Amino acid sequence: MNNSTKTTQIRTIAALIGLLIATPAFAAGEHSGGHGHGNAVDIGKPGKVSATTRTITVTLRDNFYEPKSISVGKGETVRFVIKSKGEFVHEFNIGTAAMHAKHQKEMMVMVEHGVLEPDKINHHKMKMDMGGGKTMEHNDPNSILLEPGKTGEIVWAFPKALALEFGCNIPGHYQSGMVGKFHIGH
């Protein structure tokens, strides 16, 4: 099988998975507006490298994380080094289950507009109007979107207590098991 055929098959499968899990209405999201993090839910905030207590390496695979869960202290600031080791584009996003559900709809819009392909990100399309004047620049401090072989980092100051997850919200990935839990203690 040549690369063109493989790429076409991967795109078709990804699109079908996305259509199966998506809701009927694909409203344009708020990627440039903060994934809805302006609400009253305190998921933490961007941290300063100088305030970090430790560094945790998270590996993105097809479709799971290593590690599958992460323990952090109440109010702790952690530097995450995120490495994409799979064949597909993946995301590391810190949020609640409800935030991930909303974000998945936004990510579907990115797929529909050709911003995301299974194995690459079309960065030049992120600033285009996705509907209602909204863009999908995916530049929020609690989230990173990585192509295969890429590495990035997030520095995050955790709240005192909250049920938080890390998840990949690319259509079908979260549902395939690409989600992990934060355990916030002491």
**Structure-block tokens of residue 16:** 């079908």
3-state SS string for the chain = CCHHHHHHHHHHHHHHHHHHHCCCCCCCCCHHHCCCCCCCCCCCEECCHHHCCEEEEEEECCCCEECCEEEEECCCEEEEEEEECCCCCEEEEEECHHHHHHHHHHHHHHHHCCCEECCEECHHHCCCCCCCCCCCCCCCCCEEEECCCCEEEEEEECCCCCCCEEECCCCCCCCCCCEEEEEEEC
Give the model's pLDDT for residue 138.
75
- Beta bridge partner(s), residue 80: 56, 154
Question: pLDDT: is 36 or 115 the higher one?
Answer: 115
**Structure-block tokens of residue 129:** 């109007």
Question: pLDDT: is 56 or 1 the higher one?
Answer: 56
* Arithmetic mean of pLDDT, 38-43: 64
Q: Is the pLDDT of residue 11 over 70?
A: no
User: What are the pLDDT digits (tens) for 41-52?
Assistant: 789 999 999 999
User: What are the pLDDT digits (tens) for 131-179?
Assistant: 777 767 777 899 999 999 999 999 999 987 778 999 999 999 999 999 9
Contact 175, 101 (CB under 8 A): no
- 149: Cβ contacts below 8 Å, ≥ 6 apart: 84, 85
- 136: Cβ contacts below 8 Å, ≥ 6 apart: 29, 31, 32, 106, 109, 110, 113, 115, 126, 130
pLDDT band for 186, please (50, 70, 90 cuts): low
Q: Kindly report the pTM of this predicted structure.
A: 0.78
User: What are the pLDDT digits (tens) for 67-106?
Assistant: 999 999 999 999 999 999 999 999 999 999 999 999 999 8
- Beta bridge partner(s), residue 143: 93
Contact 63, 125 (CB under 8 A): no
User: What are the pLDDT digits (tens) for 107-143?
Assistant: 898 898 888 999 999 888 877 766 777 767 777 899 9
pLDDT band for 23, please (50, 70, 90 cuts): very low
CATH 2.60.40.420 describes domain 3-185: yes
